[in-house]
A and B are shown apart, each in its own frame.
Chain A
């Protein structure tokens, strides 16, 4: 019989080459002659016993021999077959000892890796939690958002209930539909009326999303009927906070908007409607979703669930057909309207996707710079050790062995860097989540988890392989003769300045791109800080009033109640004046509509000019500080019975009354014809560079509504007046809802949160990049100085002046830096376009920023060259020459 193949393989890998032939031959000879009487199975067993016995004994023998060799010479022994655990452990032990011997190198490398890996893991965690992970809903890939779209009207993703009812009847690719929207209820409690962030929905909304109740039931089809729709479902949070998690809450009444509703259910913990997460209490629509006059009320978020076999594309095609059919059936409300179908996840996170991808790109740059630095450090170390490696090689260590040693070092460094990076990323993710501006979807789902550890590990391994192997390959092509002849190990690395130069060029280029990005964001932010709105920003306070009690029979009664409220507030000391308005700069909703200019040819609906409109009280402009440019302001005499009047802003006057006097002209909006009696100054847009919109104002008394903002001008810090003002207003009428006290500074601050956050984050990345790049330049220049010590010593001895030496060193060091700046500028020119959406009032190719950043980087690079250059001038010729 023949020896088993596997056994032969094992023997070949354990028995030393010089003994192998004799031993294997002996075994085979015995197998053929000495065991002639044994069965084949018995022979095989015998051979395997011999194999294991030999393998174990020779492995042990090899370890003993190696210990003796190292004890004697301290060098790595001859090449041994790879894959042996003991050899690997030995390499690792050796590498650790080597790293401990040069703590500076080790710490800088680990720190660099930790920064790169930590920042990347943190940002990738955020991107993963928000963009990549599926929504925490049942079969989230089948969920879609549906939007009615009309090219002539701004793109909001909304729809109207009767249309959705028709879709539900006709569509097959989408099996279920649901819709809902926010609805501000007033809730009668023990302390009077208060506002509740509520929502109204069809029962389909909860079915589509497969939300479940914790108690009772959710909305059901019978709740749709207007005679039967006074039921409410609590969010889990509201049930806990306001009802003390009382299970007996089911069946209890609550008073919403003055009417009694029955609580029928509580949503399960964590069950939220995407895009409507703040809703605390759900009720059915207060009208039947088939009610025809609601067809044009496109104010609802619409959700659908694709049928099991359906595709997104198929659903889109089918919905297009349905939209065309509805346009023919209901031309007045539906002509020109299409339907878009988008995956729900895209709809939720689409707005933050560009920003997050920019962050991801920015940290990617940091990692690349970090890697370049690590590669540089390893190269320098490898080159500095050529002599050592040559000696090891002479003592019998083969190339594989040396590469393995260098790889072990890189592996240890990158694992340590990776671990430090993961720790850093946990801190960074927590910081990101707590500092992030409000309104980022799914932020609560962000965290570092097992997947992120895998990500960090992969990053670590990749950096090791890329930046450990490449320098290893370089360092181990050691020509013993050459290395030893040169004697000076530092001289041997000269050939590799090219690779290091390229690394510095790329580091500088990447850092420059990041710095330009940070510079642009900073400039944009500074522009926002200095916003000049065209009115006095100081000492302004806003508060929102809503009166929806059935006690008030007409809108005029409500408006006079609100006027009374304004008078109450102005009677307080420290209050200068109080104005009323439906909305204003940075606060309140913006209401826009088409309008027609009296006496001019009308256009088709959808093609008329669009204007922002406000209803305001008499003191609005004087309180805000907007100047009157022509005509008059509103007075208390502008009541419903008086002639209908309007005031326009300068932007509207300039646009539509180019060479005419707008005073006395007419505008028609909402079917009301108003005469223009005044022109006021523009309020600058907050986003500098954005044009000022045309605006129309009319008196609240002539078109009364149930809600208004009070705009309060004070002589002292407005925040101190919130309590007395609230007390006054509460005392006036218990049914009046008072909410949302905010100072103008608060409004501005809220607008600044997101740009500030963007600026800070990119700024941090850019600073890290700058620091790493300068370390990189410094490292390369000081290395080249160290290599040229002898040359400089001689030059100094021959009379070269210090300034010449410095110039020469800085000059050489600046070449890759300047090259990097050039390449970085070109790259930044292309890359900063991606930032356009984050920039306000600054061009992505802003020359000043580009120039300043290039200059900054140039100075930093020069300093990084200058420090080692100065060291070079302190070289004593006699010392360097004697060293040899």
Chain B
């Protein structure tokens, strides 16, 4: 079976979910990514990424009770699954390995 791999944006979303812990739903996920990366993010892109991650079984979600300030709608909370954790770890390992011994080259430039 082909190994699942993560795009950069999907990694950002997964990491934001992990950082937010039990408060991970749409609005704070967007804010977290924007705050940490310093760039603005399209909400729609975040929701699509969440949908795909859920489809791959990397995250799961549940709908909380509706609240009046949300127009009578509940928050959809996300939690990273073990497969997701594995994949981010794997991803980090690959990146770190690729970064190794590159500092002298970067300084030369």
Contact = CB atoms under 8 A, between A and B. Distances in A.
Contacts of A19: 47, 51, 76
Interface stretch (B9-17, B67-75, B94-102): B67-75
Interface in A2-32: 2-3, 16, 19, 21-30, 32
Contacts of A53: 42-44
A52 B71 CA distance: 20
B20 interface: no
A662 B1 CA distance: 119
A50 interface: yes
Contacts of B51: 16, 19, 61
A166 to B, nearest CB: 86
A34 B27 contact: yes
A22 B63 contact: yes
A26 B48 contact: no
Interface in A27-75: 27-30, 32-34, 50, 53-54, 56-58, 61
Chain A interface residue number, banded? 20 to 34
A430 to B, nearest CB: 59
Nearest to A23: B47
Interface of A: 2-3, 16, 19, 21-30, 32-34, 50, 53-54, 56-58, 61
Contacts of B70: 25-26, 28-29
Mostly, the A contact residues are helix
A3 B48 contact: no
Given A21-B63, A22-B26, A23-B47, 20 more contacts: A16-B51, A21-B66, A21-B73, A21-B76, A22-B63, A22-B75, A22-B76, A25-B70, A26-B75, A28-B71, A29-B70, A30-B27, A54-B43, A54-B44, A54-B47, A56-B44, A57-B44, A57-B45, A57-B48, A58-B44
B71 A25 contact: yes
Contacts of B66: 21, 25
A25 B43 contact: no
B48 to A, nearest CB: 5
Contacts of B61: 22
B69 A26 contact: no
A595 B45 CA distance: 105
A53 B48 CA distance: 11
B45 A22 contact: no
21 contacts: A3-B71, A21-B63, A22-B26, A23-B47, A24-B71, A25-B66, A25-B67, A25-B71, A25-B73, A26-B43, A27-B43, A28-B73, A29-B70, A33-B69, A34-B27, A53-B42, A54-B44, A54-B47, A57-B45, A57-B47, A58-B44
A238 B48 CA distance: 80
A50 B75 contact: no
Contacts of B25: 22, 26
Nearest to B69: A32
A34 B43 CA distance: 14
Nearest to B45: A57
Contact of A61 (B26, B48, B67): B48
**Interface-central residue, B44, B74, B75, by most chain A CB under 10 Å:** B44
A58 B43 CA distance: 12
Nearest to A65: B55
A19 B25 CA distance: 12
When A and B form their complex, which 3 residue pairs have the shortest distance between CB atoms, in order from nearest?
A: A22-B76, A25-B73, A26-B26
Contacts of A28: 69-71, 73
A789 B74 CA distance: 60
A618 B51 CA distance: 110
Interface in B22-73: 25-27, 42-45, 47-48, 51, 61, 63, 66-67, 69-71, 73
Contacts of B75: 22, 25-26
A50 B43 CA distance: 7
Contacts of A32: 69
Nearest to A2: B71
Contacts of B48: 57-58, 61
Nearest to B55: A65
Nearest to A16: B51
A77 to B, nearest CB: 14
Contacts of B74: 21-22, 25
B54 to A, nearest CB: 9
Contacts of A50: 43-44
A43 B51 CA distance: 26
B45 to A, nearest CB: 7
Contacts of B76: 19, 21-23, 25
B97 to A, nearest CB: 32
Given A54-B43, A58-B48, A61-B48, A23 B69 contact: no
Contacts of A16: 51
A49 B27 CA distance: 16
A684 B61 CA distance: 100
